[in-house]
Amino acid sequence: MNAAFDQERRDVPMSECTTWRCGGVADLLYQPGSLGDLSTYLASLDGSVPVTWLGRGSNVLVRDGGMRGVVIQLSDPLSGIAVDPPEVQAQGGAPCARLAAATAAAGLRGLEFLAGIPGTVGGALAMNAGAAGSEIWDYVHHIETLDRQGDVHRFRADEIEVGYRYAQLPPGHGVVLGVFHLQRDEDAMAARQRIQELMARRRETQPVAQASSGSVFRNPPGQHAAELIEAAGLKGYRIGGAEVSKTHANFIVNDGQATARDVEALIEYVRKAVADHSGVQLELEVRILGEDS
């Protein structure tokens, strides 16, 4: 057991646990020290207690009323990566960027796009994260999950229905391990070079120095949400401390003072304005969790 991490805390502000840096408190936040600790903890919970799995808190907005029940956040003790070509194993709490770097260093190609995704492997698998024309489930061999009773389940890639920013995991399951099969790159430096290029492009086109969740809306088929938002004249539009990024219109940034209500109100405003301007109904990519204040 890793005592430094195996802990349950009460009334934890979700502004500390999400990349938007806003939101109310969670009744309980649990950070497991090991897979065994997590399994035991889940088995000890009453079945009526809500459980929410959280990675690094990107791609989510927690409302100002906070979250009931338990939020489980996989942290350092469950962030291991093991590379044995062509197989790569990554625990659910491993940062996506570290997985991209580890596979590139081993001369393996395919997961370079993860370098620009500010989440964890578990979260990326749960939403089929993607960038630069690739998606994480393109490379999955199998995953392992924990259910509400703390039991481990293994699923082959072809047993999980996936789509654009979507993976149909069994209800209540959290991803604790992803296993990938990758191919060697003939040029051992090529993957590292691709990561450098992707990160340079990200710095140029995204508000990486500001608090945000990443892309707010899904790209409609054949279109780009950012272009639709910009065409509606919304770059720089603000509600409270939330602003449509001047760098990338599909990002909403927190100037340090935004409430979750500011962010959600701006999301609603953008959706209506784009629908009025272009007739396109934007769908959320971020998940909105918790209760209103």
Tell me the catalytic residues: 165, 215, 285
Q: How many angstroms from the chain centroid is the CA of residue 137?
A: 14
CA distance 47 to 287: 23
Q: How far apart are CA 196 and CA 199, in angstroms?
A: 5
Q: How far apart are CA 229 and CA 248, in angstroms?
A: 10
Name the nearest CA neighbour of 22 among 278, 275, 210, 225: 210
Task: Quote the Cα angle for 203-209-213, to 5°.
Answer: 95
Judged by phi (left if over 0) then psi (alpha if -120 to 50, else beta), residue 94 lies in: beta
